């Protein structure tokens, strides 16, 4: 009977209340980080801008029509084959690289392509041009962009593996963990320069 004489405040349900709140916040918490395909738009050209003349063979043309079908270099293609076709084009290395600050980058010595004279000269000259219809599905557009980026990633990984014994993905991750490491920065820039991503969006064909 001694217990009844000194009653305590019953805190037993405190845990229940706290749990309830906990579960509410657990459910409403979104910790997902926003991720996506990042792209840098080209600057607005001045009114009197004359586009440079680019050789036909250095352009890889991808067309997507309003029925979400692909036309690559004038031929119909399944999206599954796009990556390999893009790799083949970028890695061709059939000629001299572009001239930067008066210094020629010379022929591509790390390319493993066919060195055909009918395909791109050098990865830094190879331009991928994507033209889509206004009525094309955004989903398809993203798939195509993604496949093209995959082609670059593959090539960069390969080169990075050869030069630095680690894939480019690992290299970039190591760099983002250690931003002040000049050596890593140089490696990343080197690979990026060897296979620059040049994907341009052509004016869309109009849908009525």
Please report, as ranges, the residues that interact with other proteins according to CB under 8 A.
11, 14-15, 18-19, 21-22, 25-26, 28-31, 33-44, 64, 79-80, 132-139, 141-143, 145-146, 149-150, 153, 201, 204, 207
User: Is residue 202 a contact partner of residue 130, using CB atoms and an 8 Å limit?
Assistant: yes
Tell me how far, at minimum, the Cβ of 169 lies from other proteins, in Å. 10
In this structure, the number of other CB atoms found within 10 A of the CB of residue 153 comes to 16
Tell me how far, at minimum, the Cβ of 53 lies from other proteins, in Å. 23
Tell me how far, at minimum, the Cβ of 55 lies from other proteins, in Å. 26
Cα distance between residue 194 and residue 90, in whole Å: 11
Which C-beta is closer to other proteins: that of 3 or that of 109? Answer: 3
Cα distance between residue 82 and residue 130, in whole Å: 12
Which C-beta is closer to other proteins: that of 96 or that of 170? Answer: 170
Which C-beta is closer to other proteins: that of 36 or that of 52? Answer: 36
Which C-beta is closer to other proteins: that of 57 or that of 148? Answer: 148
Q: What is each CA distance from 32 to 28, 38, 116, in whole angstroms?
A: 12, 17, 46
Tell me how far, at minimum, the Cβ of 115 lies from other proteins, in Å. 27
Tell me how far, at minimum, the Cβ of 181 lies from other proteins, in Å. 18
* 126's tokens: 């190879």
Which C-beta is closer to other proteins: that of 95 or that of 204? Answer: 204
User: Is residue 151 a contact partner of residue 87, using CB atoms and an 8 Å limit?
Assistant: yes
Which C-beta is closer to other proteins: that of 38 or that of 118? Answer: 38
Tell me how far, at minimum, the Cβ of 118 lies from other proteins, in Å. 28
Which residue(s) pair with 61 in the sheet? 129
User: Is residue 189 a contact partner of residue 127, using CB atoms and an 8 Å limit?
Assistant: no
Q: What is each CA distance from 208 to 120, 134, 172, 205, in whole angstroms?
A: 35, 9, 44, 10
């Amino acid at each position: 009977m001694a217990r009844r004489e000194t009653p305590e405040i019953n805190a037993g349900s405190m845990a229940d209340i706290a749990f309830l709140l906990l579960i509410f916040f657990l459910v409403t918490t979104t910790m997902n980080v926003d991720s996506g395909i990042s792209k840098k738009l080209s600057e607005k050209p001045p009114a009197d801008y004359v586009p440079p003349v680019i050789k036909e063979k250095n352009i890889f043309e991808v067309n997507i029509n309003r029925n979400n079908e692909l036309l690559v270099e004038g031929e119909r293609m399944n999206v599954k084959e796009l990556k390999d076709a893009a790799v083949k084009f970028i890695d061709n290395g059939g000629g001299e690289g572009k001239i930067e600050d008066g210094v020629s980058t010379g022929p591509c010595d790390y390319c493993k392509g066919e060195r055909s004279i009918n395909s791109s000269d050098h990865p830094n000259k190879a331009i991928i041009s994507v033209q889509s219809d206004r009525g094309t599905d955004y989903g398809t557009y993203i798939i195509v962009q993604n496949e093209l980026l995959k082609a670059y990633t593959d090539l960069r990984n390969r080169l990075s593996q050869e030069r630095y014994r680690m894939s480019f993905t690992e290299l970039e991750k190591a760099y983002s963990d250690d931003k002040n490491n000049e050596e890593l920065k140089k490696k990343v820039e080197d690979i990026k320069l060897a296979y620059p991503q040049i994907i341009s969006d052509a004016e869309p064909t109009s849908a009525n």
